[in-house]
Structure 1
Amino acid sequence: MDERKQSPSLPILLVDDEATTLRVHEIALSTAGYTNIISCQDSRQALNLLREEEACVIILDLNMPGISGQQLLDHFVAEFPETPVIVITSNDDVKTVVECMKKGAFDYLVKPVTRSRLQNIVRRAIEIQELRQENSQLKEKILNQGLTRSDAFSKILTNNKTMLAIFQYVESIAISSQPLLITGETGVGKELMAKAVHTISNREGNCVFVNVAGIDDNAFSDTLFGHVRGAFTGAEKQRAGLVERAGQGTLVLDEIGDLCKESQVKLLRLLQEGEYFPLGADLPKVNEARIVVSTNIDLTRAQQEGTFRKDLYYRLRAHHIELPPLRQRKEDIHLLFEHFLSEAAQALQKPKPLYPDQLIDLLLQYHFPGNIRELRAMVFDGVGSARNRSLSMDSFYAHLERHKTDTPATGTQSENHPTDIPLSLSGPLPTLKEASDLLIREAMLRTNNNQSMAARLLGISRQTLARNLKSIQTG
């Protein structure tokens, strides 16, 4: 553990009416290297202390005279929402714990509090705080080079430099009235990026989304352009289309690569002429909305195959954003995992579970064909199946086993796929022993020398791996 984690720059605030308990907590934390601690025995002073000096973690007893811990929790969450609060209760009252977690508590402890449990929860809280701070600092560093609306990207969690550079590009083109094409694999966050574009554009109308995959030409025309009364059987009254509902805002067409050829012609006309005809109408209406389209399909290949019009493609990509897949954003996996863990715990009304460090190492080896959406589903499944306060790795192992042969959504093989071992076969073939040794070394390297994980990657037992490692070391 580095010096920054041993003595956090911001103090740990302990709030408890019992002096003995405060002293026990101080000793437990100091033995783990946490020396920057502020103790408060009077709950009425706790809020003022925090207002005077920001804390990195708050440890709060719920049962106190004067102002109760639950009342203080409300104030802490309202005024200092980024500061994790660990609540301590004298009995395992599930209802009270769930209520505190819903209010925003980071975690809880039941008395008597063991030293190791306290140390582990505080360590995890500080690590998460540091992740948030690093994310904020990195984002601020890059965004300060010209980005003025960082709030628009608050729901896109990232430490990735490519993503942060995309933020800058988005702000520079957000006010444009020209179409925008957003491409990227399934689950990379295209919808969130489209919403950010609309937010920054400050357009007066609505941001309207429509998935155009699989709809026929008539449905496309009626959905986008609307119809007048009597346009077809059953059209008993006039209905505005989504173009009109968007007004001067943004119309987002998702899965544009699956749009049928007939509808592509109508969309091209809308972009070229800036007007459209509702079904059955004699007079055109003017389009005032900015058009944003997204797809996970390779439109260049679609043009070559004759399924997507070249003239429409070049009209749509007046501006273009290519969002990177999660396997190219490895530094974001831990950040996103923690976010989804909190989200899942709150949605399922469970305390936020602990998890082994090896779980993050395991996720870093995975190629995520479903990207961020897949990671979120994995976390929700893991939290949902958790039987106690610890997150089991079994559901994650099972998911990876089911999807180990999957390729990314674009159909291209991941450059970081766990089975892509760089063996060269152009020269003399290695012996079976040499090939086996190479695979074992590679598995140990990828799992940071975790024998259990390496054995799973290789499809062998841990005992077999241990024997082979001993053979490599002695041979």
Structure 2
Amino acid sequence: MPNSEQKRFRTLAVDDEHEVLESFRLTLLAGGMRDVQTCDDGREVLSILDADPSIRLVLLDLIMPYMGGQSLLKSIQETHPEVVVVVITALDDLNTAVECMKDGAFDYLVKPVEKVRLLSCVKRAYEHQFMVSENRALKKRVLSDTREHPKAFEGVVTRSPAMLSLFQYAEAIAASPEAVLITGETGVGKELVARGIHAMSGRKGKLVSVNVAGLDEQSFSDTLFGHRKGAFTGAHSNRDGLLKTAENGTLFMDEIGDLTPALQVKLLRLLQEREYYPLGSDLPRKADVRILVATHRNLREDSGGVPFRRDLYYRLQTHLVHIPPLRKRKEDLPLLVNHFLALTAAKLDKKTPSAPKELVSLLSSYSFPGNIRELETMLFDAVGKHRGGLLSLTSIKERIFEGHVENHHEGEEDDGRTSIFTHADTLPTLHEARIQLIEEALRRSGNNQSVAARYLGISQPALSRHLKRQQSENQ
């Protein structure tokens, strides 16, 4: 059960025997539950639930004076459907157990109950409660089409519907104690999304970020867990790791897909047990920290890199946030261009240059393998070379057309025999091929003839003549 759920929700034990109530209370407290309340009169249960909405679990005896447990179970389900009820009774009767389950009981335990089984049942009940609460919050956020924390993602410049939906989902899971896996290509802004999730989480601690790519086992353990004096050669004093620094806050680990198998085991144990051992210490520390991780790799596929454990992947993707690449949200380009031109000009202490009207069309024709980060560096270079008037597109065109050539080469087969016609049943005529090629160039350039001409390797006047000839042929 998540630590934060133990703090948010309380348990009410209902039984007419004081010794049983005290046994339940001590067992649950020893198991990490807090504020376990007891009640020896079934008639008081509904008023207690009315007065304390933090009570989300009731341990209920069936055989009690004044008010029987089965009728009380029905009343709780009718008036407080958000409360989970576990029946604990000496009545070992299958028909009664079936009736209680039909009436909404989460489980039916027969006295005497072993402590291990009681704790296991309570933890499962809280996990169920947590998932129900989280699903309600997620449904409310997504269906309402509004956000309670619109400033959390101020650093992300976008108007993309896909990104706005992502923000709603992130807000819905922000308060969850479970891990979040943030995926997306290099340069899409994974750390910005992590910052937004932390800002909405309500956690009082800080956000601590670390890139774990390339860390060996000792460096990883020392960085995250810290060490005790004398733990290894050179450990002349105690050191708190990043988990301690991020206590009550959030730890963001980037490039998680590059962890070695041994380090994946360490991370899995941290997520499962929520505790860790500083190097050289025999005493565990509780990890009261939210874990966010990010990767550009597809962890479900073995792409020839470090293999990723299935159990760790499923543990991490309790909440999965995928950030779409820039090429799939081209509607953001005008906003991003204005943002980066102003930002770059301020950094270089220059006046913000005016952008040529064809700039956005030119950028729209490019796939941006480096995503937002590549766009930023492209515009930074152009503004750095700017001397006045309209922004020159020379450096931007060089990068884009160089990128087109590189992408084309990357997609070619080694034997050089493939082409766009390889899988065609029939070949187009030269006339048809010319028309299709021009139409495709215009489509990719957003009908910008200058850019389309560059794609085709001809001048803009030559393209204009082709279009006029084509128009006359169609008349």
TM exceeds 0.5?
Answer: yes
Q: Where does residue 450 of structure 1 map in the other structure?
A: 448
Shift of 1:450: 2.9
Contact in 1 for aligned 2:365/2:446 (Cα 8 Å):
no
Q: Where does residue 295 of structure 1 map in the other structure?
A: 295
Q: Where does residue 438 of structure 2 map in the other structure?
A: 440
Q: Which whole-Å CA distance do the structure 2 matches of 1:334 and 1:171 have between them?
A: 26
Does the alignment pair 1:353 with 2:378? no
Contact in 2 for aligned 1:368/1:375 (Cα 8 Å):
yes
Contact in 2 for aligned 1:182/1:293 (Cα 8 Å):
yes
Q: Which whole-Å CA distance do the structure 2 matches of 1:467 and 1:390 have between them?
A: 28
C-alpha distance after superposition, 1:356-394 (max 9, x if no partner): 111111111111111111111111111001121320010
Q: Where does residue 177 of structure 1 map in the other structure?
A: 177
Q: Which whole-Å CA distance do the structure 1 matches of 2:172 and 2:366 have between them?
A: 34
User: 1:237–1:147: structure 2 CA closer, same or farther, 3 Å change rule?
Assistant: same
Q: Which whole-Å CA distance do the structure 2 matches of 1:423 and 1:209 have between them?
A: 49
Q: Where does residue 470 of structure 1 map in the other structure?
A: 468
User: 1:160–1:396: structure 2 CA closer, same or farther, 3 Å change rule?
Assistant: same
User: 1:216–1:387: structure 2 CA closer, same or farther, 3 Å change rule?
Assistant: same
Shift of 1:302: 3.3
Q: Which whole-Å CA distance do the structure 2 matches of 1:474 and 1:303 have between them?
A: 52
C-alpha distance after superposition, 1:216-272 (max 9, x if no partner): 111101100010000011100000000010011000000000011111111111111
| More deviation, 161-170/432-441 | 432-441
- TM-score for the superposition, normalised by structure 2: 0.65
Contact in 2 for aligned 1:189/1:372 (Cα 8 Å):
yes
| More deviation, 463-472/352-361 | 463-472
User: 1:344–1:305: structure 2 CA closer, same or farther, 3 Å change rule?
Assistant: closer
Q: Which whole-Å CA distance do the structure 2 matches of 1:304 and 1:164 have between them?
A: 34
Contact in 1 for aligned 2:354/2:391 (Cα 8 Å):
yes
Matched pairs, number = 326
Contact in 2 for aligned 1:227/1:278 (Cα 8 Å):
yes
Written as runs of structure 1 = structure 2, the 5 A alignment for 1:27-46 is none
Q: Which whole-Å CA distance do the structure 2 matches of 1:189 and 1:380 have between them?
A: 18
Shift of 1:405: 4.2
Amino acid in the other structure paired with 2:387: R
SS in 1 for 2:252: strand
Written as runs of structure 1 = structure 2, the 5 A alignment for 1:285-324 is 285-302=285-302, 307-324=307-324
Amino acid in the other structure paired with 1:356: P
Unaligned runs of 5+ in 2: 1-140, 413-418
Q: Which whole-Å CA distance do the structure 1 matches of 2:142 and 2:312 have between them?
A: 34
Q: Which whole-Å CA distance do the structure 2 matches of 1:170 and 1:412 have between them?
A: 35
- What root-mean-square deviation, in Å, do the aligned CA atoms of Structure 1 and Structure 2 show? 2.4
Amino acid in the other structure paired with 1:262: A
Amino acid in the other structure paired with 2:192: L
Q: Where does residue 457 of structure 2 map in the other structure?
A: 459
Contact in 2 for aligned 1:143/1:168 (Cα 8 Å):
no
Amino acid in the other structure paired with 2:365: Q
Written as runs of structure 1 = structure 2, the 5 A alignment for 1:161-240 is 161-240=161-240
Contact in 2 for aligned 1:211/1:254 (Cα 8 Å):
yes
Q: Which whole-Å CA distance do the structure 2 matches of 1:179 and 1:224 have between them?
A: 16
Does the alignment pair 1:270 with 2:270? yes
Unaligned runs of 5+ in 1: 1-140, 414-420
Shift of 1:153: 1.2
Residue identity over aligned pairs, in percent, reads: 50
Q: Which whole-Å CA distance do the structure 2 matches of 1:334 and 1:356 have between them?
A: 12
Q: Which whole-Å CA distance do the structure 1 matches of 2:347 and 2:305 have between them?
A: 44
Shift of 1:145: 3.0
Q: Which whole-Å CA distance do the structure 2 matches of 1:424 and 1:435 have between them?
A: 14
Q: Which whole-Å CA distance do the structure 2 matches of 1:374 and 1:343 have between them?
A: 15
- TM-score for the superposition, normalised by structure 1: 0.65
Amino acid in the other structure paired with 1:438: Q
Q: Where does residue 160 of structure 2 map in the other structure?
A: 160
User: 1:406–1:241: structure 2 CA closer, same or farther, 3 Å change rule?
Assistant: farther
Amino acid in the other structure paired with 1:318: T
1:430 to 423, 428, 431: 428
Shift of 1:208: 0.3
SS in 2 for 1:292: strand
Contact in 1 for aligned 2:364/2:446 (Cα 8 Å):
no
SS in 2 for 1:152: coil
Shift of 1:456: 0.4
Contact in 2 for aligned 1:243/1:289 (Cα 8 Å):
yes
Amino acid in the other structure paired with 2:456: L
| More deviation, 445-454/328-337 | 445-454
Contact in 2 for aligned 1:143/1:164 (Cα 8 Å):
no
Q: Where does residue 393 of structure 2 map in the other structure?
A: 393
SS in 1 for 2:292: strand
Shift of 1:342: 0.3
Q: Which whole-Å CA distance do the structure 2 matches of 1:445 and 1:145 have between them?
A: 33
